[in-house]
Amino acid sequence: MSLAEAAAPASADPRDILRDVFGYEQFRGHQAAIVDHVAGGGDALVLMPTGGGKSLCYQVPAIARQRAGLGITVVVSPLIALMHDQVGALHEAGVEAAFLNSSLSFEQAQDVERRLLRGEITLLYAAPERVTTPRFLDQLDRLAQRGQLALFAIDEAHCVSQWGHDFRPEYRQLEVLHTRYPQVPRIALTATADDLTRADIVERLQLQEARQFVASFDRPNIRYRIVEKSQPAQQLLRFIEQEHEGDAGVVYCQSRKRVEETAAFLAQHGIDALPYHAGLDAELRQRNQDRFLREDGIVMVATIAFGMGIDKPDVRFVAHLDLPKNIEGYYQETGRAGRDGLPAQAWMAYGLQDVVNQRRMIDESPAGEEFKQGLRGKLDALLALAEATDCRRVRLLAYFGEHSGPCGNCDNCLAPPQVWDGTEAARMLLSTIYRVQQASGIGFGAGHLMDILRGKATEKVAQYGHDKLSTFGIGAQLSEPQLRAVLRQLVAIGAVAVDAEAYNTLKLTEGSRAVLRGERQILLRESVAQPASRKRSTGTRSGAVAAVAAGLTAEGQARYAALRAWRAEVAKAHNLPAYVIFHDATLAAIAALDPQDVGQLEGVSGIGARKLAAYGDEVIRALRAV
């Protein structure tokens, strides 16, 4: 029993629990409605973006129902590697929690089972394959007979669906929870939005009667930026050095090789970067993940194998060096930034080769034509986002069916790009492709075609007599970056195809006609020659300290630094990530307040009764030492 519980009979009111246990004043968004519904015994399906605050939606009802004498909550979670930290965070808040998974010895597992049957546990985390074993179900039977089975929480519920991106066959068996214990309420949670997956979750988990709570998918604290790719590794380095020095971040790359190279490149330049991909030795991979979670300011360079269930709240940026496959993937990956609600950035470098690669991967996949058509449609939507000259967020949210206005926090809103009409340039390029094909009977690559348009008398031009073409030199006023942008957009909209089998030669397509006829306008952003010269963003200045503690005085900064040092020691001693002890925002609030005694710490967001009792004195002592 926690200290707080010993002091007074524990309240089963969700608002009291939110304040006393978690130290938060208010529920966010749909949380209040969800918590009331579930604590009252209703079933719920919760769709909330990453960082929306899903955990509290089942943790608060679990505590409320336990305090009302209704017994334990079983939390089904697919991520064994992260259960330890989740349970650790609950312990820190004074909640009795435990996990059952294959990392425990037989004796340890038995001990958990004994505590479970004695009613000493409020939340039990378990993997789906464990939950559906006869042994575990037998224990649940015994709890149910005594009316001590309070709630089932099914996290990452999209894993039940083949349409989701993380299909886990074991999730299908979770249906048994409903058929076997129809009286026990269930809450299923996911951050995956699309209708197909949602319908599948309802069907597979028999949640037809459950109330659905669908939150807005906007993440207002994330700033979206997409830059033209020239030298990606250098661009990334500049981005990190100028805007995220000392910050934790994730860099996504498509291939293992690229992950290795990029991590090595960043490390060479003094950045704490670690690689993560499925080809790494399992132990090393786990070690890198642990370091990312536990230490401050690590940059994880990873393939998409990394990330699900990573609930580190203070990831300040997510960078993409390669184009994801679709908007769902992009949104999920970028969503790992800024879960704590503080400013964060989603940055992507994007270029012609990305478009070519993604189109080729679809073309070459063994899937049926209809399925490929679906993939192309999804890629097109992402390309439209990448090429957009208007608000990125409006487009992102529109993709998920939400209507919104210009956000003021994306690259296009903050620095509206100069737009020029590239329609004429596009027509020139298309007619050149047509004419060289006619004249020489073979296709040519982008470089040569641009030389013709710009009237450059190269050897190759002379060799093929392309200086005689009517389009020779008609685009002399266009710069090479301009022409490249035109070409990229033509490939993006499918008006030009790149033949990878034949030296990347360019070909006309069905889609070329509309552009040639002038029926389709091509609008392009003026290339920013020196993206680095743009004014620095104010929200995320250099360093983790600056981002959170920007408003502090010099003395406040010193107090903040001392608190972080103290927290690092505690986290290490408890073998938990630092944010589990206190969030950066909580430390910054304490540093600003400059409390003289423990009493003044009460009410600071993120300090519940248990943490106040456990750490109050230490915090005051750490502050006195500054």
Q: Return residues touching ligand ADP (CB under 6 A).
A: 24, 26-28, 31, 48, 50-56, 311, 313, 339-340
**C-beta of 618: minimal distance to ligand ADP in Å?**
21
The window from 195-203, 403-411, 455-463, 503-511 that contacts Zn ion (CB under 5 A) reads: 403-411
- DSSP-derived pairing of the beta strands 523-525 and 419-421: antiparallel
Among Zn ion, ligand ADP, none, the one that 330 touches (CB under a kind-dependent 5 to 8 A) is none
Residue closer to Zn ion, measured from CB, 393 or 466:
393
Residue closer to Zn ion, measured from CB, 308 or 413:
413
Neighbouring CB atoms inside 10 A of 180's CB total: 12
**C-beta of 56: minimal distance to ligand ADP in Å?**
5
Q: Which residues contact 336 (CB under 8 A, 6 or more apart)?
A: 50, 250, 307, 310, 312, 315, 318
Look at phi and psi of residue 131 and say left if phi exceeds 0, alpha if psi is from -120 to 50, else beta: alpha
* Contact with Zn ion (CB under 5 A) among 104, 413, 500, 546: 413
- Can you read off the two tokens belonging to residue 328? 């769902």
Residue showing the smallest CB distance to ligand ADP in the complex = 53
Among ligand ADP, Zn ion, none, the one that 461 touches (CB under a kind-dependent 5 to 8 A) is none
- Can you read off the two tokens belonging to residue 172? 């299908």
Residue closer to Zn ion, measured from CB, 413 or 500:
413
Find, among 235, 65, 57, the residue nearest to 149 by Cα: 65
Q: What is the distance between the alpha carbons of residues 139 and 296, in angstroms, rounded to a whole number?
A: 41
Among Zn ion, ligand ADP, none, the one that 51 touches (CB under a kind-dependent 5 to 8 A) is ligand ADP
**C-beta of 336: minimal distance to ligand ADP in Å?**
9
- Are the C-beta atoms of residues 328 and 298 closer than 8 Å to each other? no
Residue closer to Zn ion, measured from CB, 7 or 415:
415
The footprint of Zn ion on residues 382-401 (CB under 5 A) is 391, 393
Instruction: Name the DSSP class of 417.
Output: P
Find, among 473, 480, 512, the residue nearest to 494 by Cα: 512
- Can you read off the two tokens belonging to residue 87? 């349970």
Q: Please give the backbone phi and psi of residue 433, each rounded to the nearest 5 degrees, phi first.
A: -60, -45
- Can you read off the two tokens belonging to residue 495? 């008006």
Neighbouring CB atoms inside 10 A of 137's CB total: 15
Residue closer to Zn ion, measured from CB, 220 or 401:
220
Residue closer to ligand ADP, measured from CB, 492 or 585:
585
Among ligand ADP, Zn ion, none, the one that 277 touches (CB under a kind-dependent 5 to 8 A) is none
Find, among 338, 292, 247, the residue nearest to 82 by Cα: 292
**C-beta of 531: minimal distance to Zn ion in Å?**
18
Q: Which residues contact 480 (CB under 8 A, 6 or more apart)?
A: 450, 454
* Contact with Zn ion (CB under 5 A) among 410, 483, 580, 591: 410
**C-beta of 25: minimal distance to ligand ADP in Å?**
7
Residue closer to Zn ion, measured from CB, 20 or 243:
243
The window from 77-85, 119-127, 409-417, 467-475 that contacts Zn ion (CB under 5 A) reads: 409-417
Q: Please give the backbone phi and psi of residue 49, each rounded to the nearest 5 degrees, phi first.
A: -70, 165
Q: Which spans of this chain sit near Zn ion (rule: CB under 5 A)?
A: 391, 393, 407, 410, 413
